[in-house]
């Protein structure tokens, strides 16, 4: 057996591919893969990469996407992303950046000593966490 499969990227469904890709591009300091930089009427799949060109996130166009109702169980999270920051100050700064980019806070667990975090929803409604943690 020759190794294991390697995660290429995480793909998120969205009703507005460019808008959600742009949210995460700005939030995480990523860039578009070559060929995805310019908006097009055919934007139904976009990929973001890191500074080394490694794929990180992809975005797929769908006609409808029920927004997660988490923490209620009506429409579960289905998938969520976790992002680590080193300090509480960084946590507050990145939470504010996310809100400025269109995210909404779903849960504030910053008083928790072990792993302070925020659960936020991106503009398409996908929950994600920003937490103080060692990577």
Which range has the worst mean pLDDT, 1-15, 26-40, 73-87?
A: 1-15
C-alpha distance from residue 62 to each of 13, 25, 44, 69 (Å): 6, 20, 8, 19
* Residue 22 pLDDT level (bands cut at 50, 70, 90): very high
pLDDT, residue 101, reads 96
Of the candidates 103, 129, 97, 100, the one whose C-alpha atom is nearest the C-alpha of residue 116 is 129
pLDDT, residue 135, reads 66
Q: What angle do CA 53, 94, 37 make, to 5 degrees?
A: 35
In whole angstroms, give the CA distance from residue 85 to residue 61.
30
Per-residue pLDDT averaged across 78-83, rounded? Answer: 88
Q: What tokens appear for 119 in the block?
A: 């659960």
Q: What tokens appear for 29 in the block?
A: 């300091």
Average pLDDT, the chain: 92
Residue 129 has pLDDT above 70, yes or no: yes
Indicate the pTM of the whole model: 0.82
50 C-beta neighbours (distance < 10 Å), count: 12
Residue 78 has pLDDT above 90, yes or no: no
């Amino acid at each position: 057996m020759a190794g294991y499969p390697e995660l290429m990227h995480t793909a998120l469904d969205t009703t507005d591919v460019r808008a959600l890709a742009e949210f995460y591009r700005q939030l995480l300091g990523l860039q578009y893969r070559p060929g995805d930089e310019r908006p097009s009427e055919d934007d139904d799949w976009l990929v973001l990469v890191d500074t080394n060109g490694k794929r990180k996130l992809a975005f797929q166009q769908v006609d409808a996407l029920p927004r997660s109702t988490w923490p209620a169980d009506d429409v579960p999270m289905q998938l969520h992303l976790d992002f680590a920051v080193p300090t509480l100050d960084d946590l507050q700064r990145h939470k504010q950046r996310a809100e400025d980019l269109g995210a909404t806070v779903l849960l504030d667990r910053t008083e928790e000593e072990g792993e302070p975090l925020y659960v936020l929803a991106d503009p398409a409604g996908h929950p994600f966490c920003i937490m103080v943690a060692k990577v």
